[in-house]
Structure 1
C-alpha cells in the first residue's frame, strides 16, 4: 500500500516506542525510516525487522561499549544501528578529526545511514558509510548509492565504516510517497499497539456510551 512520508514517520515512531525505545530514540528511528523511504528503500520493513530482532533486549546490550574506542562494539556482538547511528551523529566532530569511525557486528546497517545526514549537516562536509558490497554518501540533503541489492538488505555486517569528508557519486532523487507492503505495516502496527494502555473497569465506564445511568 502507498503511504505518505508523514504516515510512515508517525507509525514508525509509535512502533519504536511500543518496542521499548526511549521517546528520543523513537523519534530518531521514525525520522530515519522516513528518510530511507523517501529515497526508495524499504524503511518500514527494515525497522520492523530490527524491532523484532531486538524485542525485549535491554538497550545497553546493543549499544557501543565506548565511543572513544578505536573500534566500536556492543557487549552482545550485535549493535543496534539506531543507537550506533545516534552515537555517530553525536560524535560528528570526532569523526572529522579521526577521518573514520569503525563499528563491528552491526545489525541492518542501512538503518544507520540516515544518521549520517545530521552529522554531515553539522560538519558541513559529506559523510559516507561502507560495508561489504555497499557505499552510501550524503551531504544531509542528497544521497548517493553504490551498492548491490543484497548488500543494502543485509541483516548483519561484520564491519561498518563511516568516513568524512566523502565523495558524492551516484545520486538518488527523493520521493514524496512510498510503497509499504501490508505485512510490514502490520508488523509495525503490532508494536504500535503496545503503546495503548490496557482497558480498566474505570476507563471502560468513562468510554463514550459506556457510562451507567439511572435515567430510563
Structure 2
C-alpha cells in the first residue's frame, strides 16, 4: 500500500461497509465468520524468517484469486484511493468479487501486494467469509494478466482491532514477493459493524 495512512483508512472503509447480513438477520450474537487461532499468528509478534520463498516475478496485473482450502475462486478488480486517502472497496452488491490495490505491488512481483474483499453481504456470506479459517501452509493462487499463476504460501493469519491496526507490519515494504489478504472480522457491533480485520500473510513459493 502506498502509505500507512492510506492503508489504515482503507481498512476503516472496508469495515464500515459490511456486516449488513448479520444485522438484518438478527444473528450477530449466534454466528459469525471464523477467526484465526493464536497458533496461526506471527511467531514472536514479528515478521518470521520463513523458508521456501522464490525470486519475484515481473509485474503483471492480477485477474483472479483462488484459495482452494476455503473454497474461494473469485475475479479481481483494481482499487484506488478515495479523495480522503482511504482504499476503495469492491461494490457491496458483488459478493463474489475481490479487489487489489492497483497502485502498489502486483501479486508475485517484489513488494507487498494487497488483496481485499467483503466478509458478508446483505443476503449472506461474501467472498472472504471463511478467510479466518485459513491455516499456515495453505496455498493462495493468483492468476495474472501475463498468463502466469503466482502461488503463495500462508505463513500467518491474524486479527486486529481497527483502532490498533499495525500499518507497518501489514503494509510495510518487502524485498521479497509477499501478499496480504484482508477482510473484516473481530468483535461485531449491530450499531457499527465489525470492529477489526482479519489479515492473511503469505509469500511467493511457486508459479505455473
TM bracket, shorter-chain basis:
under 0.3
Larger radius of gyration: 1
TM-score, normalisation: structure 1: 0.24
Q: Pick the structure with more strand per residue.
A: 2
TM-score w.r.t. length of structure 2: 0.25
Q: Which structure dedicates a bigger proportion of its chain to helix? A: 1
Q: Which has the higher contact order (CA 8 A, sep 6+)?
A: 2
